[in-house]
Amino acid sequence: MRGFWSEILYAAASHPFPSVPGDLISPFDLDRYDDLFPNVPAAPGMPCAGEDRSIYRRGARRWRKLYRVNGHIFQAKRFNRRAFCAFCQDRIWGLGRQGFKCIQCKLLVHKKCHKLVQKPCSNEHVDPIEVKDDANGESTLGRASSVRSRADPELPLPETPPAPASAPVRNEDLEPGSQRQYSLDDFELIRVIGRGSYAKVLMVELKRTKRVYAMKVIKKALVTDDEDIDWVQTEKHVFETASNHPFLVGLHSCFQTPSRLFFVIEFVRGGDLMFHMQRQRRLPEEHARFYAAEISLALHFLHERGVIYRDLKLDNVLLDHEGHIKLTDYGMCKEGVRPGDTTSTFCGTPNYIAPEILRGEEYGFSVDWWALGVLTYEMLAGRSPFDIAHAADNPDQNTEDYLFQVILEKTIRIPRSLSVKAASVLKGFLNKNPVERLGCGEAGFLDIVNHPFFKSIEWEMLELKQVVPPFKPRLEGERDLANFPPEFTDEPVHLTPDNDTVIADIDQSEFEGFEYVNPLLMSLEDCV
């Protein structure tokens, strides 16, 4: 990992940072811009002279959740075909991941039955359950041995033929309120503006209206697991919900090809906070307070609608052309969380993962307020609260496990240069006990609103975007990409040709109903 980041720095050194007009960033020390990365490393894996390793882009991860019973290693599984529980013999059905499947012997059981399985795992593929139709045409079970010890992993549904890979989507199949279907031919691909583990993000223009959008492109071949399919659907749902809030990136439309999924979303031109923090090192307290307040409103909106964000970080906080923030990337979100509900998936970006997740505890909305504390600390101090001095020189301390140990055990030191109010809000958000954390008490969000650090914030005016942002990005036009990293914008704009062999292995039925058009945006476009 260390070598990977050094190679990134090596490449970045050949792209000097663009100059930014002083009248737009007068609160910052311009002299510090020129020496952020003054050199190239002597060799890959070595730091630059004077290099600050505090702030880097790091991808979010979701660790697989496994359940161990009598040697079986069960994983939640979605079944599009007929499957029967090896314990109770009833059919496993319903929406989402309805049952468990042993990743070793392929045994299938209901979630409610998995703890009742008594036969140890054989580590070998079990014999199949036979599904037969009786005289009435209904399915019955038959087998050569005990039904409580064997199961067929996936028996096909004969009455449901597979959909062709390139089956056209009819307008009547679209979400209610929309009568137009989009395809890749409707957009001009302009520039690459981002890339992640699963997706590439492009700046595109809708040819009919000349409006500019961002397009997130996901290869279906990479969405190979049930959990991956779930997060794609969750991201779509949250994008739809987010379209109703000023500080969340909203959705224009979704469509697909046999090989890819496409999210067409708002294009936010001001770049992300990671980009600006890498140039400005740290922010004045007034700036950090403004951004933290707008982020708080966005998180509160999601929480009220039963969504845990779970991936708050500098990379996912965008600045629009006026300087207001917008959260993006909803792939780590958890939907359907009611007050008092909890979840337990181990996921997030390592530096921002809350202690309760690391301890393997059930958690709720508290993890988002912890992440806001980490992000606010980074804005005010210019470094992570979990930086370890000289960790780069000690391989044992330069690991993910050691970072998690630091998050759990290290006392967080607040810089003395910060005000009493700033120190207080950081201590509140970064309380390792989620019950006592700021925003997690009985008053909830009101505790944040009433905290002395936010005393100067006019919350109602802020939510209406009637408060002037402290910093406005300089933009030459709608397509100005000065606030996007060159390692993305210098990439060639193209999508690799489809591979028929890869497409043949994709179960297209997993993506049925993905198409969507935002009816509100459609009505606005019809007025053009």
3-state secondary structure string across 353-369: CCHHHHCCCCECCHHHH
At position 484, the amino acid (one-letter code) is F
Q: Which listed residue (311, 315, 320, 368) is catalytic? A: 311
Residue 311 annotated among the catalytic residues of the structure: yes
Residue-level pLDDT, tens digit, the chain, 528 residues: 444 444 444 444 444 333 333 333 333 333 333 333 344 445 444 445 544 445 555 555 555 567 778 788 887 776 655 678 887 877 775 545 568 888 778 888 887 787 788 788 876 555 444 344 444 433 333 333 333 333 344 444 334 344 444 444 444 444 443 457 899 999 999 999 988 777 899 999 999 999 999 999 999 998 877 667 888 889 999 999 998 899 999 999 999 999 999 999 999 999 899 988 988 889 999 999 999 999 999 999 999 999 999 999 999 999 999 999 999 999 899 999 998 899 999 999 999 999 999 999 999 999 999 999 999 999 999 999 998 766 666 777 778 889 999 999 999 999 999 999 999 999 999 999 999 999 999 999 999 999 999 999 999 999 999 999 999 998 887 888 888 888 888 898 989 899 999 999 998 988 988 999 998 766 555 544
At position 477, the amino acid (one-letter code) is G
Q: Give the Cα-Cα-Cα angle 80, 85, 86 (nearest 5 degrees).
A: 135
Residue whose C-alpha is closest to residue 320's, from 130, 145, 471, 521: 471
Domains, the chain, with CATH or none: 1-51 (no CATH), 66-142 (3.30.60.20), 171-268+487-526 (3.30.200.20), 280-474 (1.10.510.10)
3-state secondary structure string across 98-123: CEEEECCCCCEEEHHHHHHCCCCCCC
Residue 121 CA to residue 149 CA, distance in Å, equals 9
Residue 235 CA to residue 245 CA, distance in Å, equals 16
At position 347, the amino acid (one-letter code) is C
At position 23, the amino acid (one-letter code) is D
Residue 334 CA to residue 317 CA, distance in Å, equals 19
Residue with tokens 């400005």: 280
CB 86 within 8 A of CB 128: no
